[in-house]
Amino acid sequence: MNTKAKLSEVLDAMDFQTHEHRSLLNRKTGEVVTLMEEEIRAAEDDEPLEDYPDWQRTSIKLAQEMLENEEDFVDLPSQFDVHEYDIMERFCFSVEDEETSRALCSSIKGRGAFRRFKDKIHQFGIAEQWYAYRDQALKEIAVAWCEANEIPYVDDCKPALKVKRPPETEKALQYEELLAQLRGLLEGERDFIANAANFAALVFHALPDVSWAGVYRFREGELLLGPFQGKPACTRIPPEKGVCGKAANRLETIVVENVHEFPGHIACDSASNSEIVVPIITEGRLIGVLDLDSTAFDRFDAEDQAGLEKLVEVFLEATDVGDE
């Protein structure tokens, strides 16, 4: 390997990996690349590049290079290797104040542990302490990974810039407020339709540049329109059709920068230019999807995905899904 890997780039890639992305390091160049699973599948199947938008073709070509020279690439530690919960648990025990430590340990037990933990660290005013601890834990994992794979690296991490911290951004703080509002809004009500209606209304009116927000229910093998805010929409969506169908079929969130370049997009509203769809899943069973549209291009990003996925989790905790 001629070029050393930059530890900061390794950390950034580790911090933002999801189940639909794969991050690798090129041993020869030291470059870190992140590819969507869709792009890797397209390269494996040798699908025509003209079937994909311009912004995705470069990534597919990179995926083809990776497949042709697999010995030059090594996978970075994935979200399954990082064990975020273990880091969180160790932090709880590391807090010197016994009362705070006990409260944190209690918060991470059972369903919704990550949400409760995040609420607690802000409540106790130790968010910066947590992020510093997490930064160091991730760095140790990255260094161990480099050494295990005999990858030379340069530690270019600055203490305040080791990893990005979405929870401190303005958008992430807005989602934190939305989480609290949604919990209050749904408190005492378990009906699916009633809660879905308030859920859709809340995100539609609270988030800027959202032209449509609603819930589709998964019924008898297709998506059926549920409560929404915005213009009239498509009533039924078959599996694998449009962004909603693909998100439902894959059981994963899909963010689309430009819907006009998305293969098979269903244009319920011709004014829509970008979209995000979050599947609503409980115990591995698809209940439906949360769908948001915008007239702006590239409206939704990783912070929106993280925030909306947490909102869906709160919705599920407060709602009886029954046979939905």
Q: Please report the pLDDT score of residue 229 as a whole number.
A: 96
Q: Please report the pLDDT score of residue 324 as a whole number.
A: 57
Q: Please report the pLDDT score of residue 219 as a whole number.
A: 92
Q: List, in order of start, the domains of the chain with CATH numbers.
A: 18-75 (no CATH), 79-164 (no CATH), 170-318 (3.30.450.40)
Q: Please report the pLDDT score of residue 165 as a whole number.
A: 42
Cα–Cα distance for residue pair 155/168, rounded to 1 Å:
24
Q: Please report the pLDDT score of residue 178 as a whole number.
A: 93
> How far are the Cα atoms of 92, 132, 135, 160, 162 from residue 95, in angstroms, in the given order?
6, 13, 16, 21, 22
Q: How confident is the prediction along the chain (324 residues), in pLDDT tens digits per residue?
A: 557 888 888 888 887 666 667 888 898 888 888 887 788 888 888 888 777 777 678 888 888 888 898 888 998 987 777 888 889 999 999 999 999 999 999 988 887 788 788 888 988 889 888 988 988 898 999 999 999 999 999 888 765 433 344 444 678 888 888 999 999 999 999 999 999 999 999 999 999 999 999 999 999 889 999 999 999 999 999 877 899 999 998 899 999 999 988 887 787 777 899 999 999 999 889 999 999 999 999 999 988 999 999 999 999 999 998 755
**pTM score of the predicted model:** 0.51
